[in-house]
Structure 1
Amino acid sequence: MLLAGAVLMSSGCAVANSAGGDTGRADGRTLRVVLTQEPPTLEPCEASLTGTGVVVRSNITEPLVERDPTSGELNPLLATTWKQTAPRTWTFDIRSGVTFQNGAPFTAKDAAFSIDRAVNSDLACNVEGYVFGNDDLEVEAVNDGRLTVTTEKPDPILPLRLSFVEIVPRTTDTEAKVRVPVGTGPYAVRSWQAGAAISLDRFDGYWGEAPAFARARYVWRSDASVRAAMIDKGEAEIAVALDPMEAEKDTTVAYPNNETTALRLDGREPPLDDIRVRRAIDSAVDRDGIVDALLGGLAEPAGQLVPPGVVGHSDGIEAPRQDVAEARALVREAEADGVPTDRQITLVARNGMFSGVSETAEALQYQMRQIGLNVRVRMADTATHLQYQLRPLPEDVGPVALLIMHGNQAGDAAFTTSQYLLSDGPQSTFGTETLDRRIAEAGALSGHERQQAFAGLLAEQNESVVQYAHLAHMNGLLGLSPSIRYEPDSATGDELRLTEVRPAEGAKH
Structure 2
Amino acid sequence: MTFSKSLAMGVAALVLSAGTALAQSTEIRIGVALEPPALDPTAGAAEAIDIVVYQNVFEGLTRIDQTGAVQPDLAESWAVSDDGLTYTFKLHDGVTFHDGSTFDADDVKFTFDRILADDSVNAQKALYAPISTVSVIDPLTVEMTLSRPDGLFLFNLGRGDAVIVAPESAETNATQPIGTGPFAFVQWNRGSRVMLERYEPYWGEKPALTKATYVFISDTATMTNALLAGDIDGTNNFAAEALPVFENNPQFKVLVGSTEGETILATNNKKSPFDNLKVRQAMAHALNRQEIIDGATYGYGVPIGTHFAPHHPYYLDLTDTYPFDPEAAKALLAEAGYPDGFSATLKLPPVAYARLSGQIIASEFAKVGIKLELINMEWAQWLEDVLTNKDFDLTIVSHVEPFDIGIYADPNYYFGYDNPEVQALNEQLNATIDDAERKTLAQKIETIIAKDAVNGYLFELAQTGVWNAKLEGMWQNAPIEGVVLRDIHWAE
How high is the TM-score relative to the length of structure 2? 0.84
Deviation (angstroms), 1:420: 4.5
Q: How far apart, in 2, do the equivalents of 1:291 and 1:322 lie?
A: 14
Residue aligned with 1:90, SS: strand
Question: What is the 5 A alignment of 1:12-23?
Answer: none
Q: Distance in 1 between matches of 2:150 and 2:282?
A: 38
Equivalent in 127, 149, 152 of residue 147 of structure 2: 152
Deviation, 1:114, is: 1.3
2:228 corresponds to: 232
Larger radius of gyration: 2
Larger helix proportion of the pair: 2
| Aligned twin of 1:462 | 450
User: Contact 2:304–2:310 at 8 Å: present in 1 too?
Assistant: no
SS at match of 1:39: coil
Q: What is the alpha-carbon distance in structure 1 between the residues aligned to residue 395 and residue 465 of structure 2?
A: 27
Distance 1:430 1:194, change over 3 A: farther
Which residue does 2:262 correspond to in 1? 260
Residue 486 in 1 paired to residue 486 in 2?
A: no
Distance in 2 (CA, whole Å) between partners of 1:367 and 1:318 is 18
| Matched residue, 1:102 | 99
- Corresponding residue to 2:299 among 297, 300, 306: 297
Cα offset, 1:287, TM superposition:
0.6
Show structure 2 runs of 5+ residues with no match. Answer: 1-19
| Rounded Cα–Cα distance in structure 1 between residues aligned with 2:347 and 2:196 | 42
Q: Distance in 1 between matches of 2:291 and 2:210?
A: 46
Q: Distance in 2 between matches of 1:226 and 1:99?
A: 39
- Tell me: CA distance 1:243–1:178, structure 2 relative to 1, closer, same or farther (3 Å): closer
1:355-388 deviations in Å (ceiling 9; x for gaps) = xx43222101212233222322334444444445
Which residue, 391, 404, 426 being the options, matches 1:439?
426
1:171 maps to 168
Q: Is the 8 A contact 2:410 2:417 kept in 1?
A: yes
The code of the aligned residue for 1:138 comes to T
Paired position in structure 1 for 2:47: 50
C-alpha displacement of 1:66: 2.0
Q: Partner residue of 1:6?
A: none
Deviation at 1:142, TM superposition (A): 1.3
Aligned partners of 1:285 and 1:322 also within 8 Å: yes
CA RMSD for the aligned pairs? 3.0
CA distance in 2, matches of 1:439, 1:84: 21
Q: 2:277 aligns with which of 275, 278, 281?
A: 275
User: 1:208 maps to which residue?
Assistant: 204
Deviation at 1:501, TM superposition (A): 1.6
Residue 102 of structure 1 and its aligned partner are, at CA, apart by 2.1
Runs of 4+ in structure 1 displaced over 6 angstroms? none
Cα distance change, pair 214–442 in 1 and its aligned pair in 2 (3 A): closer
Check conservation: 1:299, 1:472, Cα contact below 8 A: yes
**Residues of 2 paired with 1:237 and 1:336: CA distance?**
55
Q: Cα distance 1:346–1:309, how it changes in 2: closer, same or farther (>3 A)?
A: closer
Change (3 A) 1:85 1:439: closer
Deviations, residues 162-219 of structure 1 (Å, cap 9, x unaligned): 1121111023557x98344221112222233333322223323322233333332222
The one-letter code of the counterpart of 1:97 is G
1:192 aligns with 2:188: yes
Separation in structure 1 between the aligned mates of residue 368 and residue 307 of structure 2, nearest angstrom:
24
- SS of the residue corresponding to residue 445 of structure 2 reads helix
With over 3 angstroms needed to count, the CA separation of the structure-2 counterparts of 1:365 and 1:202, relative to structure 1, is same
Residue 477 (str. 1) matches residue 464 (str. 2): yes
**Of 137, 141, 151, the match for 1:142:** 137
Query: 1:8 matched to which residue of 2?
Result: none
Secondary structure, aligned partner of 2:486 = helix
Aligned-pair CA distance for 1:440: 0.6
Q: Secondary structure at the match of 2:404?
A: helix
Contact in 1 for aligned 2:136/2:142 (Cα 8 Å): yes
One-letter amino acid of the structure 1 residue matched with residue 101 of structure 2: A
State the alpha-carbon separation in 2 of the partners of residues 292 and 322 from structure 1: 15
